Chain A
Amino acid sequence: MPTFLGIDYNFWWFLVFGAVLSGYAILDGFDLGAGCLHLMLRKTDSRRIALRAIGPVWDGNEVWLVIGGGALFAGFPVAYAAIFSAFYIPLMIFLVGLIFRGIAIEFRDQVVHERWGRAWDAVYCVSSLVISLSLGLVLGNVVEGIPLNEEHEFAGNWLSFFNPFAILVAITTTALFMLHGAIYLLMKTEEQLFRRLNEFANSFTILFVICFVITTVYTLIYLPYLNTSLLNHPVWFIFPLLAILSIANVPRRIRMGRYKRAFISSTATIALLLITVAIDVFPNLVYSRGLPSNSITIHNGASSTSSLHILLIIALIGVPLVATYSTFVFWTFKGKVHVDEGQGV
């Protein structure tokens, strides 16, 4: 097994994919979260500002989903094929959500009419919720495992996807995104308009913590296979521990008015939670419930070594490049969003 710095290519690609997925969750997480809470903002001007805060960056954030899908397709095509065909209906709904979210953001201000604006506000909010919930649902099911046959294809019924664990993960994900989005908006706007967001942020934190605790307890009791890695290597408990610490840090920072630090903490929470999930599932990509021997792992579900080699080179060149100019774009739009600023062309 060819290695780079002592780690085999498959493991490297698992890390790359995980990093891209985390990047997506962190970036699109805040604009999805902002969308989910959109209808909680009552005034039209507040809503316009909220949209303008994410306007220039949401498309670039969404691209990470495309990159992640591509990374999965290229590096672990067996997993890609199994997951995407298994979750056919949920993914179709997810895609419609994506379409309408993008359209809603772009079209909302194209016509100056109150009903038009309010209609698109609702579409934006509902579609953001659909996206966040379906992402959580898919993640929950993949982590908990789905029935697979010997050809590593889905052998079950898609209605089984609406089980307690997956629904828990869906709600937890959405709550976390809403918190993350609220902090982003607080960071990017002038506080006078968003006193309510301050209160929301604290409620979302509590909601998230409760969901997270329930999910963790459920995992410990009902999903033993997920706990084996952690129990065998207790040193890795540091990741969930740090996640708890960083989420605890959030309300403190918000109270102090240090929104940038709160945002960094919520970002860290997302990353640390995904790392914990990665530790839990490793080396499986899609666990097969019922017949674990049919699971898709990073070894039996991967592309050839030559392909992984090419992909790692692409990633090595591409990721720093994207990070560089994305930083530049975010920097261009740094600072608060103002209501009297001309929007777009």
Chain B
Amino acid sequence: MSIGIGLMLVLFEAKFLATGDAIYEKATRFWLSIFALVFGMGVATGIIMEFEFGTNWASYSRYVGDVFGSALSAEGIFAFALESGFLGILLFGWNRVGRKTHFFSTVMVFLGSCFSAVWIVVANSWQQTPAGYHIVGEGLKARAEVTDFWAMVFNPSSMVRLLHVWTGGFLAGAFFVLSVSAWYLVRRRFEPIARPMFKAALVVATFFSLFQLFMGDRSASLVARYQPAKLASMEGHYDSFAVADMYLGGFVDNRREEVKGLKIPGGLSFLVYHDFKKPVTGLHAFRPEDRPSQVNTIFQCYHLMIVIGMAIIGLTLLACFFWWRKKLFDHRWLLWAFVPGVALPELANLSGWFTAEIGRQPWVVYGMLRTSDAFSKQVRANQIIFSLILFLVVYALLFVLFIYLLNKKIVKGPEEANLRQKYLQSPLRDNPLLHAGRP
């Protein structure tokens, strides 16, 4: 979501710089304060990830450190440093630097967050479609060593998945702006600011929801080629000699190896081969220990993601239609539909990640290292339970705080973003000691 709000910030601030219109200044400052909250939460909850590789997945770390480590290091030194460095100016420098410098900082933070997605998607994609490596050693001491850095970076799936992830982020941000603007519009508050915010976000949302459909299709083709077990799980397809159906929704019974649902016969075959009649590799082609066991979970997550994706396209196109008819803000039911809209891309992004990661099981590096061989052998179960409960409690607390503060900011709205009343009334402002010795 930081990536998405970052994009909207860049757009709003650019418009402000170009037109000098106070409306865009207020929009920018409002979303900056929301961004601060979201980014802060992101840093707080995300910092654990880098440590988790070592604490919980020590065997994995030893196995892939040679390959994966350089991607992670690049993320740290190029992306995190960039976004965190300029964040200071972004949030605290409005009155300190010129408009152009501040805009530059906004762009740098946005680019930093995008660039950080690059490296983490490269690393995760290497786990899905490994490339540019060779295996050294055997048994317990086996590890992957990098042979070609660029082959590792541009492994078969990284670029497509990167675009897919970026677009998911842009949609999350755009829909967040749409939600908040729609809320203001139905409550008839801040209308002069909410209308342009809504329109700008609608353009972004419409474009990227259509683009995401295209990227999704490209991703599925990659999965078909490189991770056939995952593809088979996504649609609950077992028999390798049968034509594969595409489901609009349903339920997979893994024990009976049956799917019950609404289907397009041969739909998956068509997706993969552009031929409704061609068989697709099924789960039976793999030994049970080499294919995912949670087939229904993968099926549901995958379909949830698609259903939401389609819903988003429908909703945004409908809104665009009314905009063209100049009746966009006349239909309150449409605005109400957008208010909870922020949940849609977030749910879709999460479902997508679940599909990707659960679908890759039992492998942590597809075809090379099993998840069951990757965990830290020296860490005991009670330690893991301790940390699980600890973080469950901490994250729950953080979530409550997040919602509370977010709500406060939204209720306060963009008009008062410039005012920091408590500081103007600070008792020390007129303290003579403060002025002693100053010219």
Q: Residues of A with Cβ closer than 8 Å to B?
A: 45, 55-57, 59-60, 62-63, 65-67, 69-71, 73-75, 77-78, 80-89, 91-92, 95-96, 98-100, 102-103, 106-107, 109-112, 151, 153-155, 158, 190, 192, 303-304, 306-307, 310-311, 314-315, 318-319, 321-322, 325-326, 329, 332-333, 339-345
Contacts and interface: CB of A to CB of B under 8 A. Distances in A.
A80 B52 CA distance: 11
The 10 closest A-B pairs by CB, nearest first: A77-B65, A84-B54, A74-B69, A56-B88, A318-B77, A81-B58, A85-B376, A85-B58, A106-B40, A67-B76
Contacts of B146: 304, 306-307, 310
B312 to A, nearest CB: 29
Given A69-B51, A307-B66, A103 B401 contact: yes
Contacts of A70: 50, 69, 72-73, 75-77
Given A85-B58, A88-B387, A329-B86, A306 B417 contact: no
29 contacts: A56-B88, A56-B92, A56-B93, A62-B47, A66-B80, A67-B76, A70-B69, A73-B68, A73-B73, A78-B62, A81-B62, A85-B379, A91-B55, A92-B390, A102-B40, A110-B405, A155-B378, A303-B65, A303-B69, A304-B136, A325-B86, A329-B89, A339-B426, A339-B428, A339-B429, A340-B426, A340-B428, A343-B420, A345-B417
Contacts of B311: none
Nearest to B75: A70
A157 B287 CA distance: 39
A86 B32 contact: no
Contact of B61 (A81, A107, A154, A306): A81
A195 to B, nearest CB: 11
Given A45-B428, A63-B84, A103-B44, 9 more contacts: A66-B50, A66-B80, A67-B80, A70-B72, A73-B53, A99-B48, A107-B405, A310-B70, A329-B88
A114 to B, nearest CB: 11
Given A307-B145, A345-B417, A325 B82 contact: yes
Contacts of B426: 45, 339-340
Interface stretch (B94-102, B343-351, B362-370): B94-102
B18 interface: no
A73 B89 contact: no
Interface string B281-311: 0000000000000000000000000000000
**Residue of B55, B65, B387 with highest tally of chain A CB at under 10 A:** B65
B67 interface: yes
Interface in B405-425: 405, 408, 417, 420-424
Nearest to B420: A342
Interface string B112-149: 00000000000000000000000010001000011101
B199 to A, nearest CB: 23
Interface residues on B, range: 35 or more
Consensus secondary structure, chain A interface: helix
Contacts of A77: 61-62, 64-66, 69
Contacts of B386: 89, 92
A124 to B, nearest CB: 13
Given A85-B378, A303-B145, A339-B426, A192 B434 contact: yes
A55 B36 CA distance: 12
B215 to A, nearest CB: 28
Contacts of B74: 314, 318
B51 A95 contact: yes
Given A77-B69, A329-B88, A342-B420, A59 B62 contact: no
A85 B53 CA distance: 9
A345 B70 contact: no
Contact of A74 (B65, B78, B436): B65
Nearest to A92: B387
Nearest to B94: A345
Nearest to A59: B84
A73 B66 CA distance: 8
B88 A333 contact: yes
Given A84-B51, A99-B398, A339 B434 contact: yes
